[in-house]
Chains A and B, each alone.
Chain A
Amino acid sequence: MDVFFNHVYDLDQQKKRDYLLKELNQTIAWHYANSSPYQKLLDTLGLHKEEFNRLDELPMLPVQLFKLADLYTGPREQIIKVLTSSGTTSQQVSKIHLDRETSLYQTKALVSIVSSFIGSQRLPMIILDTKSVLSKRSSFNARGAGILGFSNFGRDHLYLLDDDYNIKWDELEQFRAKHQGEKILLFGFTFVIWKYVYQAVLAQNKTFDFGDSILFHGGGWKKLADEQVDNYKFNELLRKQLGIRSVHNYYGMVEQVGSIFMECEQGYMHAPSFSEVIIRDPVSLEVLPAGREGLVEVISVLPKSYPGNVLLTEDLGTVFGTDTCNCGRKGTFFSIKGRLPAAELRGCSDVYAN
């Protein structure tokens, strides 16, 4: 696994495919032998094979399956935490079971990705959210998992919002005075930032400048689409209104925590060494070539304690190329357009739990 973490954005595609196939063949065999529901599923669907020769023939599970079944691999007592998608009260949430090994891989994966953007020094960090997201310790949702994962890159953490989602202006001023001249790391969920930071600043007629700062945000656009805000506009407005110098959106899901697809300086999402994206026709599920929009399949070597390595999402995206992005990072680069309109609207981390 270390080869992936040590070469997050610099493996040639051919080599990367070989490494991924080898690791995924082993991992799928492990799930098949140690998760009887998974075994039954593959057998029933006729998807089981001793060895797969191509990434696009690996057995896909629909991402919604984790809402319907408690899927984990290996002994139950090895599970140390359960992640959930946020969900709304009426909807079922995904439950993702993590053991220590998978949890460690997720952490290492995230470190290799984010270090490529900010280096190895921890930065003073502002979390654009409320600390109450983390109130339950053994089980948290995508928002909590994201906050905890990214917190490893920061120090002197400030949660910008109080429990009622109001900006803590006084603490923010103190924080900025204390860290004047330092680069600031910002992290949050797209919709929470939009509604409780950006719009709150507008409504209170404040002008604001975070100074030398870099923001990572993710969590989906479902709610923002209603307000006609796309990724480009969001990033621009945040730069302008809050003075955030550098804004990176990422695409990821609780079902594959750790293998996130970070937006590069050129505005494209990138597949790191340990994951891949494949675009498929929404009806026939045939693989589509670069430039064609379709359903996004995500592949990751990280999950060992649950069979979530190969997932068909409900999201639409387009691959633009492989290894040739002007940002210099290798791997497949793509964009996400949103959700397949006909798909069930599921609760996502951008949902503010009412």
Chain B
Amino acid sequence: MEEKLRNIFATALDIPAEKVVDDLEFNSIPEWDSIGHLALIAALDEAFGIMMETEDVIDLSSFKKAKEILAKYGVEA
């Protein structure tokens, strides 16, 4: 499952999967800026069939945090 999530990150942000590690953070690389973030959220919503709330969209600020937030929606990664 973590692999699936890593691949969604890599594809949505257009970065190599090796760069997607727990402490990868929002605004720490040019690809994960506000524009990249929108693409990422859309990809996560679609891949897991969920609709994250605004608050979670804002809080999803690292790969590690993404796993925590997705768990709230019943996605185990």
Contact = CB atoms under 8 A, between A and B. Distances in A.
Interface of A: 80-81, 100, 103, 107-108, 111, 114-115, 120-122, 134, 137-138, 148, 151-153, 155-157
Interface stretch (B4-12, B26-34, B66-74): B26-34
Contacts of A121: 51, 53-54
Contact of B54 (A80, A134, A152): A152
Given A155-B42, A155-B45, A155-B51, A137 B30 contact: yes
B27 A100 contact: yes
Contacts of A115: 54-55
A138 B57 contact: no
B58 interface: yes
A95 B45 CA distance: 35
Nearest to A108: B58
Nearest to B56: A120
8 contacts: A80-B33, A108-B58, A111-B58, A120-B53, A120-B55, A122-B54, A122-B57, A155-B51
B38 interface: yes
Contacts of A134: 35
B52 interface: yes
B3 to A, nearest CB: 25
Given A115-B55, A152-B38, 20 more contacts: A80-B33, A81-B33, A100-B27, A107-B58, A108-B58, A111-B55, A120-B55, A121-B53, A122-B51, A122-B52, A122-B53, A134-B35, A137-B35, A138-B30, A148-B35, A151-B38, A152-B58, A153-B54, A156-B42, A157-B42
Interface of B: 27, 30, 33-35, 38, 41-42, 45, 51-55, 57-58
Contacts of B53: 120-122
B33 A111 contact: no
B31 to A, nearest CB: 9
A159 to B, nearest CB: 12
Contacts of A81: 33
Contacts of B34: 148
A242 to B, nearest CB: 25
Contacts of A156: 42
Contacts of A114: 54
Nearest to A152: B57
A122 B55 CA distance: 10
Contacts of A138: 30, 33
Contacts of A107: 58
Given A151-B38, A155-B45, A111 B27 contact: no
B35 to A, nearest CB: 6
Contacts of A148: 34-35, 38
Interface centre among B35, B54, B58 (most CB of A within 10 A): B54
A216 B60 CA distance: 25
A111 B56 CA distance: 11
B76 to A, nearest CB: 23
B54 A111 contact: yes
A80 B25 CA distance: 13
Contacts of B27: 80, 100, 103
A27 B51 CA distance: 37
Contacts of A122: 51-54, 57
